[in-house]
A and B are shown apart, each in its own frame.
Chain A
Amino acid sequence: MIELENISKLYRTKTIETLALDSINLKIQKGEFLSVMGPSGCGKSTLLNVMGLLDNPTGGRLFLDGTPINGKSDKSLAMMRNHKLGFVFQNFHLIPSLNVLDNVELPLLYRNMPAKKRKMRAQEVLEQVGLKHRSGHFPSELSGGQCQRVAVARAIAGKPELLLADEPTGNLDSKMGEEVMLLLRSLNSELGTTIVMVTHDRSLSSQTGRIVHLFDGRQVN
């Protein structure tokens, strides 16, 4: 599904240089559910952003479905994010000025899809996460757990092959976290969606197929 070859990421600010990722080699197969663990600041989010084409690595090569990513145009990167990838973030990152339905519809908006079909699909995934009755609400009118379920609905609306989740339960209490985890697991098992999840929680990572540990930007085992 996705392959990282000697991926490095160096952050340069005026005062210091941080090597957030140091020669990461990672191959993730289709249908895997993988979790990334490690102490704060070890580069987990950076890794996920690089895999999600949200950030450029400073070294190494990245392959998505066998095609190299380096040097792709903005348009083709956007296309790949749109069709192949889905994101869930720790702090939800819903758009506050859009209602739930419009938020969920977002990945479909950038496809060639008629409005009616987009709405139908958005309703469908909202039903899947149990929030169909909230489609007209704004994010500020929802609880954290509901927000994250909306975020999951948005991430899967476009039927991505790879779902990248950065501490999806980090801001939720354990019960709600469990709910979101259940949702992710069923996606993985029923639809075969490949999932990469960053988490600090051992009880969650133990439910995944493989765990990758990072320390200071390096992969450790």
Chain B
Amino acid sequence: MKYLNLQQFWEQLRKNRFFTFLSLFGISIPVMVIMIMVLKVEMSIKPSGPEKNNDEMLFIQQVKINGKDGTEAWGGVPLNIIENHFRPLAAPNSLAFSSTGSATFFKNNRARDLSLRYTNADFWKVFDFRFLHGHAFNEKDVEEQHNVAVVSGSLARKLFGKKDALGTTMDVNGEVYRITGVVEDVSSLSRNTYAQIWLPYTRRNNSPVNADYSHTGAYGVTFRSTETWTGEQIQQQVRQVNERLNNLNGDQELIFAGPAPAAEIYFRGYRDPEAYGGLWMSYLGMAGKALLILFLPALNLVSINMTRIQERSQEIAIRKAFGATRKNLALQVMTENILLTFLGGVMGLIMAYAVATGFKEQVFTAWFINNPSEVSLQLNYGVFFILIGVSLIFSVLSGLIPAMRISRLQPAYVMKGGVL
């Protein structure tokens, strides 16, 4: 570190404005692109809000049915599987399931689409919602199909302004619901919980619960592990359920895409569980993409750095004359470059946030995000680790060659006016 002279570093940035601009621009743009990618993934697999404890959760969002005639059908989990097979397994307060829908809602003669979610009662115990007012609907409400609803804070404000929303009623798809609770808004990246209105799942038009397991359904299921019901046990028991169902089904094959952790669900998408190579492959894939994005800008920075190094030949020769080793000089050049890339990196991160905030509709496009404008941006410390990693890789890519060039230095030749 002592080979880095901060005053000199700033002086040089200030003096060579054009180079500084080129370097910072060249660093911050690719970093921005990568950070947007990272933000999207990070906020999806580790969302804040009700799903913040998702490392204790396992999800099944889809089932796949392979017909004997070679047909494939993807869909949600059918209610009969949940009712007949998952419920009996689950520890208390550990099984949440929900299904999404939409409602059209009129205000001032303008139609507005609302995101709905039909949930069971334990949904509110599995996830960590923050209630601003009131409370969730309970087991009895669900069983008796009460017309009760939980709404998001911003929807409550839109509907009722400053008035207390609790106890008031609203019209959803032609039925009148009483509001029991208002929760803090949920980001639309929280794919297992996001909605603007939450209703008892029994209010949904469900197909009858029977013993035919050859169809897909509409529900996403979340298991929350406990000390006595661990993730491994959950996965094992669900596998047994799967086998049992396939025995019942006979000629159709039913595959649960889970129960899997949030990250796996995110990366796998609509791929067969068997076709998916695992989390490490996904992370490697992302790292590969990032390297590809960094590669050309890094080359560019190499050439900028080379020019700068040559301009500094004299300085480097002088340092050498007074006892700097090759290692000292390489270290100096590397630390300067690391600092520069970090500056550019932080700029890139800020730009990524700005772009992600300003262009939500364009940035947050993914098959599971139905309402990109309702994504709320969060800052995870993981993002900073990744930023540090990306900047470090960038600075090594772009600084190593110039640093090595220094070892070719002949002080006497340079002092007479030659260059490296």
Contacts and interface: CB of A to CB of B under 8 A. Distances in A.
A129 interface: no
B327 interface: yes
B315 to A, nearest CB: 5
B415 A89 contact: yes
B322 interface: yes
Secondary structure class of chain B's binding surface, majority of residues: helix
A75 B325 contact: yes
A81 B323 contact: yes
Given A97-B11, A98-B5, A99-B7, A106 B319 contact: yes
A54 B11 contact: no
Given A98-B8, A99-B7, A102-B5, A78 B415 contact: no
Interface stretch (A32-40, A109-117, A199-207): A109-117
Nearest to A110: B323
Contacts of A185: none
Most buried by A among B3, B7, B323: B323
A83 interface: yes
Interface range, B side: 20 to 34
Interface in B22-81: none
Contact of A49 (B11, B12, B412): B412
B234 to A, nearest CB: 58
Nearest to A79: B323
A14 to B, nearest CB: 15
Interface range, A side: 20 to 34
A93 interface: yes
Interface in B296-336: 314-315, 318-328
Most buried by A among B321, B412, B413: B321
B158 interface: no
Nearest to A99: B7
Interface in A86-114: 87, 89, 93-99, 102, 106-107, 109-111
Interface in A5-44: none
Interface string A62-94: 000000000000110011011100010100011
Nearest to B12: A97
B322 A110 contact: yes
Nearest to B10: A97
Most buried by A among B320, B326, B412: B412
B323 A87 contact: no
Given A75-B326, A87-B322, A109-B3, 20 more contacts: A49-B412, A54-B411, A54-B412, A74-B326, A74-B407, A75-B325, A75-B327, A79-B325, A81-B321, A94-B318, A95-B314, A95-B318, A95-B319, A96-B315, A97-B8, A99-B7, A110-B319, A110-B322, A110-B324, A158-B323
